Amino acid sequence: MVEDKNLKQIVSQNHVMRGIASEVLGAIHVFKNMLMNYTIQPREKENTSMFIRYPTLNFPMDTVDEMEKFDYIMANENDSSESIDELSKYGGTICYNFVKRILTISITNNLARQYSFYGRKGKRSFHLSSLSKIVVRAAEKAGVSKNYKEAESAVQSWLKRSVERLNAKDNKRQ
């Protein structure tokens, strides 16, 4: 009798365990079907211009603080490579014109006059900035400069002429 009672209990427990196992297998089957039908959608690349991607920056940049913020943001390699790709599409056939187009929309003449390429004559060093590196690499990528030095020279020339451009602008106002 005790054996019959134990046997009935074992059969009952076995029945419960089979029911649970059946439910688990059913859930696994549903999950497997979901995975089989799941397709990974490629993440769309954000196609926002660098000039509007960073709301804390105002382009063209007019202060050294804004330039430093830009350098901080561009420390992220992904951001700088995306910016190089974008700027390399600005076009131009002559290196100086290409550099001029980019720098004109990036920084004001007022800010540019505070910099020299290597930081001589008491000015800030532009060649250490992220913007300088991005512009030079964009010129190379666009194929408008024969080498790194040619693009750097174009940036140097543009910076040197910032005072002339400011004076010309003042003369037009008068």
3-state secondary structure the chain: CHHHHHHHHHHHHHHHHHHHHHHHHHHHHHHHHHHHHCCCCCCCCCCCCHHHHCCCCCCCECCHHHHHHHHHHHCCHHHHHHHHHHHCCCCCCCHHHHHHHHHHHHECHHHHCCEECCCCCCCEECCCCHHHHHHHHHHHHHCCCCCHHHHHHHHHHHHHCHHHHHHHHHHHHC
- Domain presence at residue 103: yes
Share above pLDDT 70 across residues of the chain, in percent, rounded to a whole number: 93
How much is the average pLDDT of 35-44?
A: 59
Could you give the number of structural domains in the chain? 2
Residue 44 belongs to some domain of the structure: no
Can you give the pLDDT at residue 12?
Answer: 86
pLDDT band at 76 (very low <50, low <70, confident <90, very high): confident
Domain residues for the domain of 27 are 1-39
Q: Do residue 88 and residue 34 come from a single domain?
A: no
60 and 18 together in one domain: no
Res 126 pLDDT > 60 = yes
Asked if residue 19 is part of any domain, the answer here is: yes
135 and 72, same structural domain?
Answer: yes
